Structure 1
């Protein structure tokens, strides 16, 4: 009976959140796609739980779930100790510390931070995996829907492209679900990007947005600090240029905006060079190479990226960047493996290859590629950076398919904005719509 009450209580909470979400002003611009998008998202969330949790008996999602249950029991028996652990990473006993994973560097570990997030959810759900899955999946849906709406306001002709890229693209939907770090990363990243677009184009933030900003920023940085280090400066630069454009006439041209962007990038690089005591590029390169080597050793019998001898030096990274970036986007190819998940990934990559070919043809044909804006440049730079970094550090295609959700929807959004893709998308629009 208690389990039934827990499920009933949480389903009412989830329904209330959906009701609130759909009443937001920005959400009205996504109709009639918001309900189908939510339905597909929930199906993907349940599919993730059934496949990755119920079918496979081991994996990261099991580790996070079981550790969250351990902290739930600790909270029930020692609430004060649980609060100290939650706020200050103070373990009440050596036995508790040894019973939890990722405690060796608890202050810096994003995995241990996520376990604490799961433990907080457990206080409401009683440790029910499927309910936690729904909460985290809805969080990622919230962020991605908000970004799709804001992109539609900035680029109204390409609103449907944003909807498809962020709300319907299969692997993005799947890997932004489940009791994993990825839904938190994806939801906070998308929300912050949407908030940056709103600020850049003169929209005054409401009280709710002001209050949410520190939380979303904290979640994004704590879950994926390296992703934040790449994306947040780009967003800040975009906001700065767009706000200056309203007062400086010369910045209304794309060339002037790009020159200012280059100047800002040069200033950032110079600042990092001057602060080399706190910023150590060798440590970053070592981490990329170490991640590649450790995952490579664990992937001898599965399709993977083989870069040969990768060294933690800038020349070695630069030489291997093209293969790494292209592999991160387009591999595994169809036929590299016939395991079901790899086949599905290969089919999606084939679609990406086709879309890339169509976009390239549009660029080569004068006028068919569409007008280039600063936002396109910002998104392309982010895609190129992240594709290279993920390809260099993650040779295993199974893991890579998860990690690339950070840049994949931005890439799909760009690929769907040419004249040829737009003609196809016109056929997908309902007759009665404001799109």
Structure 2
């Protein structure tokens, strides 16, 4: 039975993938990218499985135990899915409250039905999920904002660190898959042409939102806030309002402030005192483990609004542009520093374009929502994650969106056309 499920399940997945690829290859001006970019992502996932991280080994170990429970006690496995505890065959795993580690283990335990517990197949499945999310977002962006097709390919499908960290058996794989998928669906609902069956998109958005929140709730909260602001602005524009940029910015500010207040009323987790205390505790704990290695030094960080505001610029800059070229003594830090140097150059070009009044082929509200999402997470990660190696991994799911905004700007897109990068002519 198990062998039949593995062989039959994977055969159906391969058949569905083959048919899907055939349809995607027919997408005008984009289809010829689907096979090479998918191959790159799957190769990255396979390499990660060949040399798994300690986290990946841990996820796989417990996922196999969960799958064994599924085969032997399916009713008990279903109860485990909605609880924070696992007790079976002398193995016990207990989490107190929300845990994205436990959620990923549950996902892997279901995947094991088709993979047979193979780390390689699980890595390929999660890599495929992250690719599909990114691919659909590139398609939506290319259709809605045609001038940014190359930016979408370069940022979402080929940007090195985002590609490397969001493949294989990692939380970032599911985080990127759900985040890009949710963004694609929302943008199509807000800016796409009216079509029958839009309820399916709404249903898909709800499922993706749950996965995003389960994988990392503060990533989900930041994305929900940015998309809520975009939805309110878009609705106002359809009523003939919010045409000026300062009005759109004011609407976003009102939505963010009201959302923060509402979240603090719903759960104490989002109240400032508790949030600030948790932020500083996390930083202090990780900072002790980062001594002797390149890290973000915030020596007087305290759980107060003034202290957090004082260190926010340094936290954001560090999350975006560190490690610098002179930091670290390993190949990893060297490669990361070169990428960050390119990122700094693209940021400078984007600022130059803005100062010269060169508009990007994107609605201002879309740019604002993406930047709000990226800078919220850059702030949270920069203030809570001093280790630059860990930070490079954590930023992967949102860094691609920041790069997309940069590559969409006038100068960067002009250079891409001049050198025919990303298939642009």
Question: Is TM-score (shorter-chain normalized) higher than 0.5?
Answer: yes
- Is 1:162 aligned to 2:162, yes or no? no
What is the root-mean-square deviation in Å for CA atoms of aligned residues? 2.9
| Higher deviation after alignment, 287-296 or 183-192 | 287-296
Answer yes or no: is 1:288 the counterpart of 2:283.
no
Checking the alignment, whether the CA contact within 8 Å between 2:328 and 2:334 is kept in structure 1 is yes
Q: Does 1:144 align with 2:134?
A: yes
Residues 26-41 of structure 1: pairs in structure 2 closer than 5 A: 30-41=30-41
Counterpart pick for 1:318 among 309, 313, 321: 309
* Pair 1:344-2:339 in alignment: no
Distance in structure 1 (CA, Å) of the matches to 2:111 and 2:232: 37
Query: 1:411 is matched with which residue?
Result: 402
Secondary structure of 2:328 counterpart? coil
1:19 matched residue in structure 2: 19
Does the 8 Å CA contact 1:21/1:142 hold for their aligned counterparts? no
Superposition deviation, residue 172 in structure 1? 0.5
User: Equivalent residues in 2 for 1:45-194 (5 A)?
Assistant: 45-51=45-51, 53=52, 59-89=54-84, 91-92=86-87, 95-97=90-92, 100=93, 103-105=94-96, 107-194=97-184
SS of equivalent residue, structure 2 residue 90? helix
**Does 164-173 or 288-297 show the bigger shift?**
288-297
SS in 1 for 2:290: coil
Cα deviation for residue 88 of structure 1 reads 3.8
Cα separation, 2, equivalents of 1:109 and 1:276: 16
- Rounded Cα–Cα distance in structure 1 between residues aligned with 2:22 and 2:281: 44
Name the SS for the 1:249 alignment partner.
coil
Against the structure 1 CA distance between its residues 278 and 73, is the aligned structure 2 distance closer, same or farther, given a 3 Å change threshold? closer
Following superposition, the deviation at residue 322 of structure 1 comes to 0.8
CA distance in 2, matches of 1:25, 1:249: 39
1:134/1:383 CA distance change after superposition, 3 Å: same
Question: How far apart, in 2, do the equivalents of 1:274 and 1:222 lie?
Answer: 20
What is the Cα deviation at residue 279 of structure 1?
Answer: 4.4
Query: For residues 363-378 of structure 1, what are the structure 2 equivalents within 5 Å?
Result: 363-367=354-358, 373-378=364-369
Q: 5+ unaligned residues in a row in structure 2: which ranges?
A: none
Alpha-carbon separation, structure 2, partners of 1:144 and 1:343: 27
Q: Counterpart of 1:342 in 2: which secondary structure? A: helix
TM-score, length-scaled by structure 1 = 0.88
Alignment match of 2:229 (pick from 219, 225, 237): 237
Give the equivalent residue in structure 2 for 1:214: 206
Instruction: Report the 3-state secondary structure (helix = DSSP H, G, I; strand = E; otherwise coil) of the residue aligned with 1:251.
Output: coil
How many angstroms does 1:271 deviate by?
4.0
Instruction: Give, in whole Å, the separation in 1 of the partners of 2:386 and 2:260.
Output: 28
State the distance in 2 between where 1:154 and 1:134 align: 30
Distance 1:120 1:323, change over 3 A: same
* Kept in 1: contact 2:63–2:108 (CA 8 A): yes
User: For the Cα contact (< 8 Å) 2:283–2:384, is it kept in 1?
Assistant: yes
Q: What is the deviation of 1:409? A: 1.1
How far apart, CA to CA, are the structure 1 residues paired with 2:410 and 2:87? Answer: 62
Contact 2:144 2:192 in 1 (8 A): no
Q: Counterparts in 2 of 1:328-407, with a 5 A limit?
A: 328-367=319-358, 373-407=364-398
Indicate which of 285, 293, 300 corresponds to 1:302.
293
Q: State the partner residue of 1:421.
A: 412
Distance in 2, matches of 1:397 and 1:383, equals: 17
Q: 1:211 to 1:260 in 2, by over 3 A?
A: closer
Preserved CA contact (<8 Å) 1:368 1:420: no
After superposing the two structures, state which structure 1 stretch, 14-23 or 300-309, moved more: 14-23
Residue 364 (structure 1) shift: 3.1
Segment of structure 1 superposing worse, 376-385 or 181-190: 376-385
Separation (CA, whole Å) in 2 of partners of 1:431 and 1:270: 43
Shift of 1:72: 2.1
Q: Deviations over 1:160-196 (max 9, x none)?
A: 1111111110111111111111111110011001111
Query: More deviation in 366-375 or 67-76?
Result: 366-375
Indicate conservation of the 8 Å contact 2:350/2:409, yes or no: yes
Aligned length: 422
